[in-house]
Amino acid sequence: MAIVVYRYGHRIARDKRITTHVALVARAFSADGILIDTKDEKIEENIKKVNEKFGGNFFIKSGIPWKEYFKKWNGKIVHLTMYGERIDKVIDEIRKSKDLLIVVGAEKVPKEFYELADYNVSIGNQPHSEVAALAIFLHFLLQGKWLEKDFNGVVKIIPCKKGKKIKYNCLKILEKEGCSKAVIEHCMKVKKLALEIARRLEKNGIKIDMEAIEMGALLHDVGRSKTHGIMHIIEGIKIARKYGLPEKVVGIIKRHAGAGIDEDEAVKLGLPRDDYTPRTIEEMVVAHADNLVGYKYRMLEDAIREFKRKAGKKAVLKLKELHKKLSNLAGIDIDKIVEEIK
């Protein structure tokens, strides 16, 4: 059954919030899409942003005049109004319909709606809100099954008793942003090495955020979907912010290049003036894992050779220092870890 919501009487300035909420409810409670009578690009954009982050194929179109659309509609029309029949009396019959257009108003709806509708349905005979009416109608219609819908989004909320638990599908972000196969394979390799280094650090008593390592390693090069130049760092930060990724991950993306880029080097390279030197243990681990992955895993010596050629003496020095620091903290030469997972 296709379920489409029609929002009548939207006034851009006054109904901005409530129409957005009608659309959000329609989406969350498993409708296929929403049509709005008045053209409103801002609402379309906002709902598309929600889709981008939280998934699903919910559609939104505004500027759709009701008369023509209602006439063309092939399925049944349900108009939600406090003057209608009680929902519990008609819902079983409505559920048998092939496709449904659910109409909700803003202020007053034209008299014709009551005639054109196959069902005028009330959610209790008191005046309340289109948002509540729509939610309860969809809940009755779908008998609670909307709760099972998997939106397969980049961002997934994990139910928990207290606090907030959010899971991010990083591979999906890489794909959605259009990273090449080679970049994705490189990121997977960096993830594997970074996690292994992190495990050794943890074993040696260092506190480390494994989730940040995994996400940061997978996404450190997401900006390469836009450019392979140094500005991929800035592009990566923008993408991370778009998805609302944790600041820890943004930090890893920002400070992953080489063994760090200080403010003077940044300016020379054309980056915005800032210090891009890894600070946290997670930033250091991902940056160095990246140093030890070219197309394949490589030893420090190979990385040094490349740095000498491409980045100069200062970068080589910093690379050696970072390798030494992490090896000391892990209690094992990082080269040995590379050797093991090669």
Binding site for ligand SAM (CB under 6 A): 80-82, 104-106, 109, 122-124, 126-130, 133
Our CB check for ligand SAM shows the closer of 18 and 269 to be 18
Q: How far is the CB of 114 from ligand SAM (least distance, A)?
A: 9
Q: What are phi and psi of 201, to 5 degrees?
A: -65, -45
Q: How far is the CB of 137 from ligand SAM (least distance, A)?
A: 8
Our CB check for ligand SAM shows the closer of 106 and 319 to be 106
* Inter-residue contact 23 to 50 (CB < 8 Å): no
Q: How far is the CB of 253 from ligand SAM (least distance, A)?
A: 45
* Inter-residue contact 233 to 256 (CB < 8 Å): yes
Kindly state the helix (H) or strand (E) to which residue 155 belongs, with its residue range. Answer: strand 155-157
Q: How far is the CB of 96 from ligand SAM (least distance, A)?
A: 21
Q: Closest residue to ligand SAM, Cβ-based? A: 105
Our CB check for ligand SAM shows the closer of 105 and 260 to be 105
Helix (H, G, I), strand (E, B) or coil at 77: strand
Please tell me the distance from the alpha carbon of residue 110 to that of residue 79, in angstroms, as a whole number.
Answer: 11
Our CB check for ligand SAM shows the closer of 19 and 81 to be 81
Q: How far is the CB of 22 from ligand SAM (least distance, A)?
A: 9
Our CB check for ligand SAM shows the closer of 33 and 246 to be 33
Our CB check for ligand SAM shows the closer of 107 and 301 to be 107
Buried b (16+ CB within 10 A) or exposed e, 261-288: beeebbeeeebeeeebbbebbbbbbbbb
Taking the CA atoms of 248, 253, 255 and 259 in sequence, report the sign of the dihedral they define: positive
* Inter-residue contact 78 to 54 (CB < 8 Å): no
Closest CA to 240 of 265, 264, 217, 223: 223
Q: How far is the CB of 138 from ligand SAM (least distance, A)?
A: 12
